[in-house]
């Protein structure tokens, strides 16, 4: 059967991946309330279509931080992609280049920075950074990303420890023995279970849980690359972020993998857009599975969106081509939503094109 939408790829990936990696990719933290919310919150927003507008020529192209893109649909950093496909991060980065979007590489990758750069030299790439207790090791990662031509650092600020991911604990998650976190050579930086979730144990041992706004300032000053903060969920933190000199914000709850019962990202996007105004781009990820979701996020002020799990599903099903298919599906669905809502250009999408379902309560009619 032809796979025509993201959920088709999700279903197929669930059938072909072994249980432990599937659970690792799919799951969220705690009772997974926010995991469901990230997707369902989009369903509560309706599109208000305008008609009788010439939409024969349309364009999903946009520019982000000086980079021209095919569509405002970017690839979020997701760890350990070789569990999905033997080409792992190299395949994902190549697909991003073919589609002309940005690939964000996770610190916890199973291909090295240099392997990805060699495999996809023409692709625009961001490097997602976790700050390790070992600052020299952290600096080394930053310098390698700069040398390899990455265009920005995406500092993840919502992971002083990892969230309670129950299925990883049940599965005693660890990387299959033939795989390694490829940017590290030291054996203590491998992901092995000591009885619980190996990745959670790794993070507690290695990541710097003292991380605070002074460290962001340190990074902005140390790195030659623009710094984007990923994991902002309140207008208070967005306002603090502005003072650091960072060049972008990603509204993210880490795909609902950190603190369960936080809001869906689309629910908090408006307060953050309001706090930031047009000073720096605000982006969003979490629960985006349809082109109409992309449309709604842009209508609420996001300059671009990132997708996490759908990319892993595409990768698992058909490697580089599967990732490209996911990107094309989302772009085509966005293009279709634009045409049918009476829009020809990304920049025309605004709040007037959406309405929340609560406006249709009987008491308000
Ligand atoms: C399997 C998996 C691994 C992830 N690994 C990382 C990571 O290494 N660094 C990071 O900042 N975010 C990581 N994330 C979070 C994503 O960057 C992104 O915020 C999230 O996946 C977006 O939600 P979505 O999967 O619903 O699109 C991961 C998410 C998943 C599902």
- Which amino acid residue places its CA nearest to atom 29 of ligand 1? 78
Ligand 1 centroid distance, CA of 106 (Å): 9
Atom of ligand 1 nearest to the CA of 309: 25
The CA distance from 334 to 342, in Å, is 12
Ligand 1 centroid distance, CA of 46 (Å): 26
Other C-beta atoms lying within 10 Å of the C-beta of residue 237: 18
Ligand 1 centroid distance, CA of 145 (Å): 19
Phi-psi region of 355 (alpha: psi -120 to 50; beta: other; left: phi over 0): beta
- Which amino acid residue places its CA nearest to atom 30 of ligand 1? 78
Query: Could you tell me the sign of the dihedral formed by the alpha carbons of 65, 68, 71, 76, in that order?
Result: negative
Tens of pLDDT along the chain (365 residues)?
Answer: 899 999 999 999 999 999 999 999 999 999 999 999 999 999 999 999 999 999 999 999 999 999 999 999 999 999 999 999 999 999 999 999 999 999 999 999 999 999 999 999 999 999 999 999 999 999 999 999 999 999 999 999 999 988 999 999 999 989 888 998 899 887 767 777 878 888 888 888 888 899 999 999 999 999 999 999 999 999 999 999 999 999 999 999 999 999 999 999 999 999 999 999 999 999 999 999 999 999 999 999 999 999 999 999 999 999 999 999 999 999 999 999 999 999 999 999 999 999 999 998 766 66
Atom of ligand 1 nearest to the CA of 252: 19
Ligand 1 centroid distance, CA of 78 (Å): 5
List 85, 178, 254, 356, catalytic entry: 254
| CATH number for the domain formed by residue range(s) 17-364 | 3.20.20.70
Asked whether the beta carbons of 63 and 304 are under 8 A apart, the reply is: no
Ligand 1 centroid distance, CA of 117 (Å): 21
User: What are the residue boundaries of the structural domains of the chain, listed by start?
Assistant: 17-364
Which ranges of the chain does DSSP label H, i.e. alpha helix? 6-16, 19-26, 33-43, 88-99, 113-119, 135-147, 166-170, 198-206, 213-222, 235-242, 265-276, 291-299, 309-341
- pTM value is 0.97
CA atoms within 13 A on the CB side of 143: 6
CB-defined site of ligand 1, < 6 Å: 24-25, 38, 76-79, 106, 108, 128, 156, 230, 252, 254-255, 257, 285-288, 307-309
Query: Going by C-beta distance under 8 Å and a sequence separation of 6 or more, which residues neighbour residue 314?
Result: 9, 95, 322, 323, 324, 325, 326, 327
- Which amino acid residue places its CA nearest to atom 1 of ligand 1? 25
The CA distance from 49 to 243, in Å, is 38
Note if 254 is an active site residue: yes
The CA distance from 323 to 256, in Å, is 22
């Amino acid at each position: 059967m032809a796979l025509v939408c993201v959920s088709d790829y999700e279903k197929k990936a669930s059938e072909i991946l072994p249980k432990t990696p599937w659970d690792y990719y799919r799951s969220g933290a705690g009772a997974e309330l926010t995991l469901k919310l990230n997707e369902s919150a989009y369903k509560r927003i309706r599109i208000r279509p305008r008609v009788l507008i010439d939409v024969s020529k349309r364009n999903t192209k946009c520019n982000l931080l000086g980079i021209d893109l095919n569509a405002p649909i970017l690839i979020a950093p997701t760890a350990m992609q070789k569990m999905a496909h033997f080409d792992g991060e190299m395949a994902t980065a190549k697909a991003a280049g073919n589609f002309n979007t940005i690939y964000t590489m996770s610190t916890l990758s199973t291909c090295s920075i240099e392997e990805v750069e060699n495999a996809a030299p023409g692709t625009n790439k961001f490097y997602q950074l976790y700050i390790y207790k070992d600052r020299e090791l952290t600096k080394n990662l930053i310098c390698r990303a700069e040398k390899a031509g990455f265009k920005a650092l995406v500092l993840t600020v919502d992971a002083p420890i990892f969230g309670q991911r129950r299925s990883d604990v049940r599965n005693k998650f660890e990387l299959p023995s033939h795989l390694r976190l490829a940017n590290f050579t030291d054996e203590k930086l491998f992901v092995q279970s000591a009885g619980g979730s190996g990745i959670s144990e790794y993070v507690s041992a290695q990541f710097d849980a003292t991380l605070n706004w002074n460290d962001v300032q340190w990074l902005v000053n140390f790195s030659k690359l623009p710094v984007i903060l990923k994991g902002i969920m309140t207008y208070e933190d967005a306002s603090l972020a502005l003072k650091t000199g960072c060049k972008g914000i990603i509204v993210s709850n880490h795909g609902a993998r950190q603190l369960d019962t936080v809001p869906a990202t689309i629910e908090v996007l408006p307060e953050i857009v309001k706090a930031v105004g047009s000073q720096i781009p605000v982006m969003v990820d979490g629960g985006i599975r349809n082109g109409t979701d992309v449309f709604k996020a842009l209508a609420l002020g996001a300059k671009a969106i990132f997708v996490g799990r759908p990319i892993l599903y595409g990768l698992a099903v058909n490697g580089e081509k599967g990732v490209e298919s996911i990107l094309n599906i989302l772009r085509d669905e966005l293009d279709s939503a634009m045409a049918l809502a009476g829009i020809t250009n990304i920049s025309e999408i605004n709040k007037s094109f959406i309405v929340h379902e609560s406006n249709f309560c009987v008491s308000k009619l």
